[in-house]
């Protein structure tokens, strides 16, 4: 009877543990933070350059990526279909900076807060200075860290993107 109890206890204990995969070893919080900062920059570059292959490295087809642009329009689903839409802004520069990462207690969800600056033109118009503050939510999936949500808003009297 003791052996059965011990076996049941071991099985229950193992079942309650967070699953890990052989393909994704446990990363330190410092490594996660560093990787997410890099992923945020690479994702934004992929969006600006409409690089589908790079974009798909940062999204999970099973997780909706919702976004809100710095023109304060309605939230929408961000996917590669949006790459086919007419782009009103032609970017000169675009840089993310002061990226901070806050991890959940189990290190499986992260909220990034950051700022962006740069410039763009619309049509033959003058160059417009761009300044926003933003945040994004990333989750750890069986396929690595993927973005789930982002939100952008004008910062410090700066301009967001045109509607």
Is there a domain that residue 145 lies in?
A: yes
In tens digits, the chain (163 residues) has pLDDT values of: 555 444 455 454 555 554 444 444 688 999 999 999 999 999 999 999 999 999 999 999 999 999 999 989 999 999 999 999 888 889 999 999 999 999 999 999 999 999 999 999 998 989 999 999 999 999 999 999 999 999 999 998 778 887 7
SS3 at position 121 = strand
- Write out the residue range of the structural domain in which residue 106 sits: 28-154
**Residue 22 confidence (pLDDT):** 40
Is there a domain that residue 69 lies in?
A: yes
**Residue 161 confidence (pLDDT):** 85
Total domains, the chain: 1
Residue 67: give its domain's CATH number: 3.10.450.50
The number of helices, as runs of H, and strands, as runs of E, in the chain is 3, 6
**Residue 2 confidence (pLDDT):** 55
Please list the residues that pair with 97 across neighbouring strands: 115
**Residue 27 confidence (pLDDT):** 87
Residue 12, classified by CB atoms within 10 Å of its CB into exposed (0-12), middle (13-18) or buried (19+), is exposed
Is there a domain that residue 74 lies in?
A: yes
For residue 145, which of 72, 38, 44 has the smallest C-alpha distance?
A: 38
- The first and second tokens of residue 123, run together, are 């049509």
CB atoms within 10 A of CB 131: 17
Is there a domain that residue 57 lies in?
A: yes
Is there a domain that residue 21 lies in?
A: no
Is there a domain that residue 49 lies in?
A: yes
Is there a domain that residue 5 lies in?
A: no
Is there a domain that residue 86 lies in?
A: yes
For residue 70, which of 9, 1, 163, 161 has the smallest C-alpha distance?
A: 161
């Amino acid at each position: 009877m003791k052996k059965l109890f011990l076996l049941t206890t071991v099985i229950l204990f193992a079942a309650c543990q967070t699953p890990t995969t052989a393909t994704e070893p446990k990363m330190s919080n410092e490594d996660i933070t560093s990787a997410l900062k890099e992923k945020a920059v690479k994702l934004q570059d992929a969006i600006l350059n409409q690089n589908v292959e790079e974009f798909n490295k940062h999204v999970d087809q099973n997780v909706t990526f919702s976004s809100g642009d710095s023109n304060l329009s309605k939230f929408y689903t961000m996917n590669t279909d949006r790459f086919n839409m007419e782009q009103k802004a032609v970017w000169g520069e675009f840089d993310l900076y002061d990226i901070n990462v806050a991890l959940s207690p189990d290190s499986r969800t992260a909220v990034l807060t950051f700022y962006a600056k740069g410039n763009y033109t619309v049509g033959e118009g003058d160059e417009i200075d761009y300044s926003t503050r933003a945040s994004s939510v990333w989750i750890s999936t069986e396929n690595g860290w993927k973005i789930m949500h982002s939100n952008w808003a004008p910062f410090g009297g700066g301009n967001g993107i045109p509607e």
